[in-house]
Amino acid sequence: MRRRLRVPAIVLAVAALILFALLPPRTQQTGPPPASTVRGAFHIHSNRSDGSGSVEAIAAAAARAGLQFIILTDHGDGTRVPDAPAYRSGVLTIDGVELNTTGGHFAASGLPASPYPIAGTPDDVIEDVHRLGGFGVAAHPGSPRPSLSWQDWVAPIDGLEWLNADSEWRDEPRLPITRALFTYLVRAPQSMAMLLDRPVSVLQRWDDLAKTRKIVGLAGADAHARLGSRQGGDPDTSSFHVRLPGYESSFRTFSNHVALDDRLSGDAAADAAGVLAAIRAGRVYSVIDALATPGSLTFTATSGSETARIGDSLAITSDVLLHAVASAPSGTTLVLLRDGQRLHEVTDGPLETNGGKEPGVYRIEAYTSNAHGGPAIPWIVSNPIYAGFTPPPPPPPIPAPRSRIPARTGEAAAEKGPRDTSTVEAAPISEPRARTFAGDPAVHWTFALSPGTPVRQFAAVAIPVSPGLDSFDRVRFRVIGSAPMRAWVQLRAPVGNTERWGKTFYLDTESRIVDVAFASFAAIGVTSSPRAPLDRVSHLLFVVDTMNTLPGKGGSMTISEVGFVK
């Protein structure tokens, strides 16, 4: 060998040696799940938002990875008409949306286009998703980036991502990331799985919530196939990026197994409805395919003559007998957890144990011997079986007012941005929908936001407030609108640079009573106190702005029976 070739050859040989020394273990193979269990990926971004691939290319990648369904969740406000379910490259493609809330991202599916932008607090966003018939999960709840982690654990989320690939990679130190990028060239999914740890605090949250109500856990791919800079977060103007990690590698890293009643029929609409219904019912377990694939798990709990599957509730009539069996590589340990605590475990065999008669939330974590991470990532995580579960009581009805003063609606005045429209008139007495409360004047309000980009367009009705508001704790009114919409009710005080606190409410073409506690009013922008200083409030406002109304849109509403109550 010529001397000038010798050095590069040695360097190459050493690099190859290092690469093979660092390579993650190969994926182990197992027997397949039953034909009625379908494997798929949840939480995917296409080039419609900040992903790099088309829906067609993503479906093709999922087909190569052996998946049967994908659920897309491009960022949006819910106003885009979702694609109808379709088979693409043989993969059932279901369209959803990742919504922004003030408490984190909410990945929703199973809903049609919203008539107005869905945004605001988690409570308001979830109310809209549920009204539209959808289902949503807290996305990347444990993200190390505070702006991305989920903040509101009281809000009625339907589920959470017990695992989110994006969160997992963000919290790794630089050295394992560099190693994974290096070995990615040879074993991509296995390299990505090397970066997964057991998400201890998110699993703890899930276990705590599951003691009070059913809550579905999913593994979120958060697949973008894009690493790199983005200008102002706008995918259309993005500059340099690399298509890493690729969709196919993401889909080969982990998947969600959904147990259907039957096999997929080939009718995309019916199959999508079946997959979403099974996910809502919690008939799901997640598998880290990079460790072993495809894997399968059967987990049941029996009490008396009743047997519950993953996701079910079980009435306790006698001792709860738990049974779990996995199609798994040898050396795999099944761990049974009750209320988040390890109750029983067994290696290389079916798990059978008696859980007694106490209520408990049971789920399975399975560990292969080739798991990595600190603490080790479970190979399989099941959804719970809820034994002796009593559903929480419905929220108490809004109490009837004990005392009331009418708002000064006769003095209502319009306010608006420079190019917006806002017109307030006394509702005609002949208006049959504007029923009056003790003769209070009703307000008929017509508004329109100017078109174009959102630049703080707003329209408002301002009603003066007399001193003494601090003797009351709620505002209550009747409202009917020209279309479904979400508007603000706000309190304004002449403190600082005029501060406001508010809460949004839903209205549509059916007359309804809205009753909002002042305690639920949140600060708008920077205020000198988190709660409205009721003794200093000067105005009650009804406001439409770009948070829940698109620029260029308008409408009208009739507000009556406006009063402060306690």
Residues that bind Zn ion (CB under 5 A): 98, 105, 139, 222
Nearer to Zn ion, 235 or 311 (CB): 235
Q: Which residues contact 474 (CB under 8 A, 6 or more apart)?
A: 401, 515, 516, 517, 518, 564, 565, 566
CB of 147 to Zn ion, least distance (A): 10
- Would you say 507 and 487 are in contact if contact means Cβ atoms under 8 Å apart? yes
Nearer to Zn ion, 148 or 209 (CB): 148
Burial 253-273 (b: 16+ CB within 10 A, else e): bbbbbbbbeeebeeebeebbe
Nearer to Zn ion, 152 or 420 (CB): 152
Residue with tokens 């603000």: 488
CA distances from 65 to 247, 347, 422, 439, 455 (A): 9, 29, 55, 68, 44
CB of 308 to Zn ion, least distance (A): 32
DSSP character at residue 377: P
Nearer to Zn ion, 98 or 123 (CB): 98
CB of 91 to Zn ion, least distance (A): 19
Nearer to Zn ion, 98 or 152 (CB): 98
Q: Count other Cβ atoms within 10 Å, centred on residue 26.
A: 12
User: DSSP readout, 322-370?
Assistant: EEEEEE--TT-EEEEEETTEEEEEEESS-EEEE--SS-EEEEEEEE-TT
Q: Output the six-digit token pair for 40.
A: 């798929």
CB of 236 to Zn ion, least distance (A): 17
Helix 3-22 to helix 174-184 angle, to the nearest 10 degrees? Answer: 110
CB of 104 to Zn ion, least distance (A): 8
Nearer to Zn ion, 45 or 283 (CB): 45
| 445: helix, strand or coil | strand
212: left (phi over 0), alpha (psi -120 to 50) or beta: alpha
Which residue's C-beta sits nearest to Zn ion? 105
For residue 10, the surrounding DSSP H or E stretch is helix 3-22
- Would you say 253 and 193 are in contact if contact means Cβ atoms under 8 Å apart? yes
Nearer to Zn ion, 166 or 365 (CB): 166
Nearer to Zn ion, 111 or 139 (CB): 139
CB of 134 to Zn ion, least distance (A): 16
CB of 97 to Zn ion, least distance (A): 10
CB of 72 to Zn ion, least distance (A): 10
CB of 98 to Zn ion, least distance (A): 5
Residue with tokens 């998946």: 67
Nearer to Zn ion, 105 or 187 (CB): 105
